[in-house]
Amino acid sequence: MRDIFKSLIVSLFIFCCSCNGGGEKAPESAPVTSFKGEQLFKDNCYQCHRPGMEALGPNLAGVKSRWKDAQLLYSFIRNPQQVIATNAYARALQEKYKGQLMLPFPQLQDEEIDAILQYCDEAGK
């Protein structure tokens, strides 16, 4: 009886491991940047921003096209007060949003910022 039970368990294990949802090809995983960007946006930006609309801060959809230099945008995201002190566009944004201070995000890497902005571009359509 014990051998039959072991055989049944092993057979069930093999069946479950080999099953792929009815014979269909397993779907490719979602692009890392899209998923990662959405999660990073929700964790860091959602309090003040919405893709496709203004909130406490500007609409982030298409934001890269509004900055002359992507590296300056990355610097702004990491340390907004430093960029506001030296850049007229950043100062104008702060004035437009009634002096709201953006929190700094020094921990975000370029590829994480790109993922957030890509998510905002896609979600803001």
What pLDDT shows up at residue 17?
40
What pLDDT shows up at residue 85?
96
Which residues 6+ apart lie within 8 Å of 103 measured at CB?
80
The answer to whether residue 3 sits within a structural domain is: no
- Each residue's pLDDT, cut to its tens digit, for the chain (125 residues) gives 555 434 434 343 343 344 444 444 434 444 556 789 999 999 999 999 999 999 999 999 999 999 999 999 999 999 999 999 999 999 999 999 998 889 999 999 999 999 999 999 999 88
How far, in Å, CA of 66 to CA of 35, rounded?
A: 24
How far, in Å, CA of 97 to CA of 95, rounded?
A: 5
Domain hosting 41: range is 32-123
The answer to whether residue 4 sits within a structural domain is: no
**Count of residues for the chain?**
125
Here the CATH number for the domain that contains residue 76 is 1.10.760.10
The answer to whether residue 27 sits within a structural domain is: no
Domain count, the chain: 1
The answer to whether residue 15 sits within a structural domain is: no
